[in-house]
Amino acid sequence: MSIATRIKDCIDNHEKYVAIMAAMPDKELAKKLDLVHIQSQIAEQTKNTGSLELLEVWRTQIIEARILKAENNIPDAPNEIELAIRDIETVVATAEDREEIVVFSLLAGEGRVRSCYDLKESHAKVQQQQDNDSQLSLF
């Protein structure tokens, strides 16, 4: 994509890009601004006017995003990794709950457990036995 096309795109979608960046953490926006300043210095040294124009548009958008974020207390958007971790934790917790229900149902059907308290107590004994076994295997 040519620089002229990129400049036009940035100007045409100015509000959209500012809104997207306003959801970024301020630390990340500061880093982007520093990078734009460094790139501007390089573009100025090489007398690349097209790049300077584009970098000035980007600089303006980043500054506007930081101002918008500060004035409106816009929270940081969670990144994809944090969302995936939350989803995994939810699935694991749900699976553990279901496993506990199934085990309780099976043991209750055999008459070995009468309440959830009995189940937790027997689970604690099994866990302690497994811990002891794993400690003995160290020797």
Is pLDDT larger for residue 63 or for residue 139?
63
Residue 113: both structure tokens together:
């457990």
- Asked if pLDDT for residue 130 goes beyond 70, the answer is no
> Predicted confidence band at 55 (pLDDT cuts at 50, 70, 90)?
very high
Q: Write down the pLDDT at residue 70.
A: 87
Residue 139: both structure tokens together:
């020797």
Mean pLDDT over 2-29 rounds to 88
Is pTM beyond 0.75 here?
Answer: no
Find tokens 């958007």 and name the residue: 77
Region class of 29: left (phi > 0), else alpha (psi between -120 and 50), else beta: alpha
Q: Write down the pLDDT at residue 124.
A: 66
Q: Choose among 107, 125, 128: nearest CA to 116.
A: 107
Q: Choose among 119, 92, 120: nearest CA to 105.
A: 119
- Asked if pLDDT for residue 134 goes beyond 80, the answer is no
Q: Write down the pLDDT at residue 36.
A: 94
Q: Choose among 10, 29, 13: nearest CA to 69.
A: 29
**Separation of alpha carbons 132 and 119, rounded Å:** 20
Q: Choose among 77, 64, 4, 80: nearest CA to 32.
A: 64
> Predicted confidence band at 94 (pLDDT cuts at 50, 70, 90)?
confident
> pLDDT by residue (tens digit) across 58-81?
999 999 999 998 888 877 766 667
Q: How far is CA 139 from CA 11, 45, 126, 133, 136, in A?
A: 69, 67, 21, 11, 6
